[in-house]
Structure formats: structure tokens, C-alpha cells
Amino acid sequence: MNRARWRVRILCEDRRTEQFVCRLCKRYDVRVEHVAPAPAGKGSASAWVRLKYATSVRKRRSKNFQANLGLLVVIDGDNVGVEGRLRELAQQLEDAAIDPRGPDEAIAVFVPTWSIETWLAHLTGADGVDEKAPLKLDERYRVLWNEPKAASETIKTAVAGWDDSSTPLPSHRAALAEARRIGLMQG
Amino acid sequence: MLKRIHVHNYRTLVHFEWSLPSSCVLVGDNGAGKSALFEALWIARDVIVHGKRIDELGFPATRTAWLDEPSQVIALELEHDGEHFEYQLEARLELSDPHDRSRCSIIEQLSSAGDLLYEAIGGAVKLHGGQSSATIPFDRRRSFLAAIEPGPGNRKLVAFRDAIASMWMFKPDPLRIGGVASRETTWIERDLGNFANWYRTKVQEDFAAATRLREDLIQVLPGFYQLRLESISAETRDLRIRFDFGGKTHEVSWDGLSEGQRLLIALYGVLRFALEHASLIGLDEIENYVAPAEIQPWLRAVVDAALEGDRQLLVISHHPESIDYLAADAAWRMWRDPATGCSRIAKLEPDLDAGETAYDLAKQRVDDE
């Protein structure tokens, strides 16, 4: 029996990340039900996502009867990395006295490291991309997103290359595994 | 892109100045001046593009209640297709008879990169360009810009008018959106009141957009199958909606829809038929009548279109869902200065490290800060 179409709520750091994951959802026919991007403001957008994580998990679990409803959290790895961010998010649940994320629970966490721009550059085939330093402002890559139209094209190309990278970055490889939790996969 | 707007002596806007971002949500209490700001832009558009007389556009009744000044001013600074324009429109009431609305005139000035292109004072229009300038007599209550025919000598004037024409502002009123299309029109009204007439034109012009509109509506309106224009006379068409539930089809008239359904159809129509032609999209309280779960997908599609086409998006909202979603770009707040009553504006900057949202700040009163 076919499972019902996946629906997903998204918690993320910024508009560019939203554009990327929404397009990814469209590619896999996952319906985006709601997006909560961090506001433009002072301070760290990753801190904002961390602080909203527990509430988002609680909200998702309040609808556990909807098996096809997922939560996708996207938080930049920066200098903390995938494991570090996952630990931070787990700590948020513990601090809020909420059960930890289950191994098959429909809550996926993407940690683009260093940032979403690292993934965009890598997935569009740019040379010399690694996760060890930020490249958002690097002159070699800025052409990929410094104009709105260019950024839009970059996102389309990156989404097309989401699952056919033969040498995925470690944070991308981790995200490919996470994506299965919420139906972001073929078939 | 509209870079700056200055409005003086218009409702609560007194020496009001705003350097606009590329996209933002505009919040504030009722009466703070948000809609007045959009109205001022709309008036400039009506004067420059549609050639409307200034006394048909609320002048002089819209003057600031506590000022006793005869002139209202709207000034715009914008960039369009590589040109930088500065324009000022002044509506002046002749003080000899302040109750006679016809005793008014407009003064205009348009320059590009510091060079004066056009000016109009008391019915005398001066066109500047190249080595020569010309003076033309014209109606003192209308803008000659609306009447200019495209030609090699006035390329910049026409480019400016096109830039203003591509600023679309909407304040939908579902109660005014009727389903009878009595004629065809290429212009959609600000309240979407003539949606049926406009849809009748657009569906013939852009089949691809009509197909996308149908796909959108299938997603957002349960059971939606198609929009259909039925002939009810030689001239008139009736907009009807076909639904399909469980393989059984039925059709309802436009009036048989709820206000929310009408609004969603009109908003998705705007998304698919109009946004491609807009450089600026202004939306004034579009969430009335629809659920948050219904409006966010539409806003996401508009934000997507704005980003892809490098379009400016300005949204007035009181709704937490819309405010927090749109604040990812920027949030600005308007309020009334308690000492003067004049409208003020400032950017909201939520403290992300404290998990603050734009709505958290928007619901605080200014004098609480």
C-alpha cells in the first residue's frame, strides 16, 4: 500500500536555506506545510534555530497521529560541525524535559557545514570546496549567489545534484541519511 | 527598485522619509500610517500612469488634519533598468478659495542622475533633453507624463513611467470581488474588485499562466477542478467554479464561494498573471478572510517570485504568521509620535540570541521600549 504524501514543517536559518530545502521538497513531491525562517535581526541565526527547536519538536509530536507529517530542521554547522550541532539540539530537548529524538522519528536535521553556501558551491560542482572554512564571502564563489537570478539558478542546479554527488561532503552525506526520515528520497 | 519615498502633508505623514529595503513586512497599530504610505504611492501611480486628475484622488481632503498647509508632496527616488530617477509631485491648493477642489494644480519635477528631464508648473510643461527644451500648455491638474507617446526623444520619460506602472499595490476586498465579467481589461484594480474582467483577458493572453493557476488552485482549494467563463449574453461572461469530489463534478457560481475562497482564487490569479510584470509588489493586509495555513503557501510563492525576478516586496500585516515569515528579509514598524501625532518608521531588530521574533517586537507598544 502506498504511503500518503509526506508533508513537512521547516525550521531554518535564512531565506536562502528555505529556498534550497523547499525546492528539494518539491523535487521529491513532499508538500511544505509551514516554514519558520529566523528573522533578520541582531545575533546568531543558528542560536535562534536552536532556541526554537524544542517548541518545534513538541508541536510535531502533538500531531503524532499524522504519520506522514515531518519536521525538517536546517542549521549551519559553522565551526561546530554536524555532531556538535546534533549534541546542541539534543541538549535543547533535555533542557526542556522533552524525550530525545527517536532513531526513526520523522524529525530530520540537516547541518550544512560550514554553511548552506558550502553545499550550494559543492553541489553545483565548484572546485576546492571543503567544510573547514566559510566561503559565503569568498570572491571565487560569490558569483553563485551575489545576484538574485544567479542565486536562483544555483539553487536549482544544487537541488538537481542533491543525490548524485559521488564524493559528498561529510555534512551532505549525513543529510542524505537524515532525509529518509521525512520522505526526501526516490520512490 | 524604489529606493526612497518622501511624503508630506498626507494624512499622518508629515515630512515622512523612508529608504526602502528590497523586501520587508511593515507592522504597526491601526492608524500608524502604513496604508496611507501605500495610498501615497498609489496616487503617484494614478497621476503618472493613468493621467488621473489630482482632485479625483482625494485632494485636498487627505491633507494632514492639524497642518494648515496648502501643498501635499510625494517624492520618489528609484532605479530602473540602470537609470536613477528622482521625481517630486506637489499638489497645491489655491488659497483664494480653499473649498473649491477644482482650484488646485500640480507641480512636478523629474530628473535622472541629476539632469532635469521634465517639469510642470501651473499648466506649463517643460521637456528638457539634449540641446533644446520645449514648453507645452497642459491641464494644470494632470500629469503630462501619462500622455507622452514613446519616441526616441523621450526614452527616459517613458522608462520612468514604465517603472512606476510596474509598481503593483493590492488591498484586496473579497466582498467587492464579483464574478461577472462584463468586459475585458488589462488592469487589475487595487482591491481586486474587477478580477473577473481581468481574468477574462489574461486567460486568453497567457495559457501557461492559466495552467499554473489551475495547478495552484487544485493544491489549495479542496475539490477544485477548474475555473470557467460561461456566456450569459453577447458581452457578458459569468465566472464559475467546477469542483470534483469522489469523481462527482458540480459547478458553483462565484457568489456560491466563501469570501476566503474568492480571495484565494484572486490572489493566485495575481501571482500567476501579474507578478511577472511587476518590479514592486505591495500587499496591504491580504490575510483577512483566509487561514494562516492557506496564506503562507501563497506568500512563499510570492517571495520566491520576488527573489527570482529581483522584485521588491512590501507587505503590511497584523498577522503573526505572515509577520514572522516575512521578517526573514526585514521587518519595519510604523507608529504615531505621541508628541506630534506624525507617523514614524524604524527597523525592527529581533534579538536572535534570545529567540525573539519580529512579532514579539511588533506587539510591544513603542512607548514600552
Q: Indicate yes or no: CB of A39 within 8 angstroms of CB of B310.
A: no
**Closest CA–CA distance from residue B219 to any residue of chain A (Å):** 10
Judge contact between B57 and B104, C-beta under 8 A. no
Q: Does residue A50 lie within any of the structural domains?
A: yes
Q: What amino acid occupies position B335? A: W
**Closest CA–CA distance from residue A52 to any residue of chain B (Å):** 7
The number of C-beta contacts closer than 8 angstroms across A and B is 79
Question: B361: which strand partners?
Answer: none
Judge contact between B164 and B279, C-beta under 8 A. no
* Bond preceding residue B320 cis, omega within 30 of 0: no
Question: CA-CA distance, B64 to A112, in Å (whole number)?
Answer: 52
Q: Residues of B with CB below 8 A from A37's CB? A: 325, 328
Q: Does residue A30 lie within any of the structural domains?
A: yes
CA distances to B104, B153, B158, B166 from B80, rounded to whole Å, are: 31, 18, 12, 10
End-to-end Cα, chain B, rounded Å: 32
Tell me the CB-side half-sphere exposure of residue A50, using CA atoms within 13 A. Answer: 22
Tell how many helices (H) and how many strands (E) occur in chain B: 8, 18
- pLDDT value of residue B76: 98
Question: CA-CA distance, A33 to A71, in Å (whole number)?
Answer: 10
A151 touching chain B per CB within 8 A: yes
Tell me the whole-structure pTM to 2 decimals.
0.94
**Which of B300, B349, B354 comes nearest A35 by C-beta?**
B300
Q: Indicate yes or no: CB of A40 within 8 angstroms of CB of B307.
A: no
Q: What amino acid occupies position B132? A: S
Q: Does residue A134 lie within any of the structural domains?
A: no
Q: How many domains does chain A have?
A: 1
Choose among A115, A25, A111, A116: nearest CA to A70.
Answer: A25
Mean pLDDT, contiguous 10-residue spans, chain A (187 residues): 82 97 96 97 98 97 91 98 98 98 96 97 93 91 91 95 85 96 85
Q: Does residue A13 lie within any of the structural domains?
A: yes
Question: CA-CA distance, B45 to B146, in Å (whole number)?
Answer: 10
Tell me the CB-side half-sphere exposure of residue B229, using CA atoms within 13 A. Answer: 22
Q: Does residue A156 lie within any of the structural domains?
A: no
Q: What is the pLDDT of residues B238-276, one digit of tens each?
A: 999 999 999 999 999 999 999 999 999 999 999 999 998
Closest residue on chain A to B295 (Cα) = A34
CA distances to A155, B17, B23, B244, B332 from B20, rounded to whole Å, are: 27, 9, 8, 45, 10
CATH code where residue A108 lies: 3.40.50
**Which of B328, B330, B349 comes nearest A38 by C-beta?**
B328
Closest residue on chain B to A53 (Cα) = B355
Interface ipTM: 0.95
Q: Residues of B with CB below 8 A from A51's CB? A: 354-355
Judge contact between B224 and B243, C-beta under 8 A. yes
Could you say which residues from 96 to 135 on chain A have a Cβ atom under 8 Å away from some Cβ of chain B? none
Q: Residues of B with CB below 8 A from A33's CB? A: 293
**Which of B304, B329, B351 comes nearest A43 by C-beta?**
B351
Q: Residues of A with CB below 8 A from B327's CB? A: 39-41
Set of cell numbers at residue B248: 462527482
Give the residue extent of every domain in chain B. Answer: 174-277
Q: Which helix (H) or strand (E) holds B71?
A: strand B71-80
Q: Does residue A136 lie within any of the structural domains?
A: no
Question: CA-CA distance, B358 to B304, in Å (whole number)?
Answer: 21
Q: Indicate yes or no: CB of B352 within 8 angstroms of CB of A15.
A: no
Q: What is the pLDDT of residues B21-47, one digit of tens each?
A: 999 999 999 999 999 999 999 999 999
Q: Does residue A150 lie within any of the structural domains?
A: no
Question: CA-CA distance, B58 to B61, in Å (whole number)?
Answer: 6
Judge contact between A88 and A127, C-beta under 8 A. no
Task: Give residue A20's domain range.
Answer: 7-115+167-182
Match 482564487 to its residue by C-alpha cell: B265
Set of cell numbers at residue B86: 528622482
For Cα atoms B277, B281, B285, give the angle at the middle one, nearest 5 degrees: 140
Q: Residues of B with CB below 8 A from A96's CB? A: none
Q: What amino acid occupies position A119? A: W
* Bond preceding residue B42 cis, omega within 30 of 0: no
Neighbours of B156 (CB within 10 A): 18
Report the residue count for chain A.
Answer: 187
Q: Does residue A96 lie within any of the structural domains?
A: yes
Judge contact between A159 and A21, C-beta under 8 A. no
End-to-end Cα, chain A, rounded Å: 13
Q: Indicate yes or no: CB of B354 within 8 angstroms of CB of A43.
A: yes
Write the DSSP symbol of residue B342. -
pLDDT, one tens digit for every residue, chain B (369 residues): 999 999 999 999 999 999 999 999 999 999 999 999 999 999 999 999 999 999 888 888 899 999 989 999 999 999 998 999 999 999 998 766 656 656 789 999 999 999 999 999 988 999 987 656 778 888 999 999 999 999 888 899 999 999 999 999 999 999 999 999 999 999 899 999 999 999 999 999 999 999 999 999 999 999 999 999 999 999 999 999 999 999 999 999 999 999 999 999 999 999 999 998 899 999 999 988 898 888 999 999 999 999 988 899 999 999 999 999 999 999 999 999 999 999 999 999 999 999 999 999 999 876 544
Match 566559510 to its residue by C-alpha cell: A134
Judge contact between B133 and B233, C-beta under 8 A. no
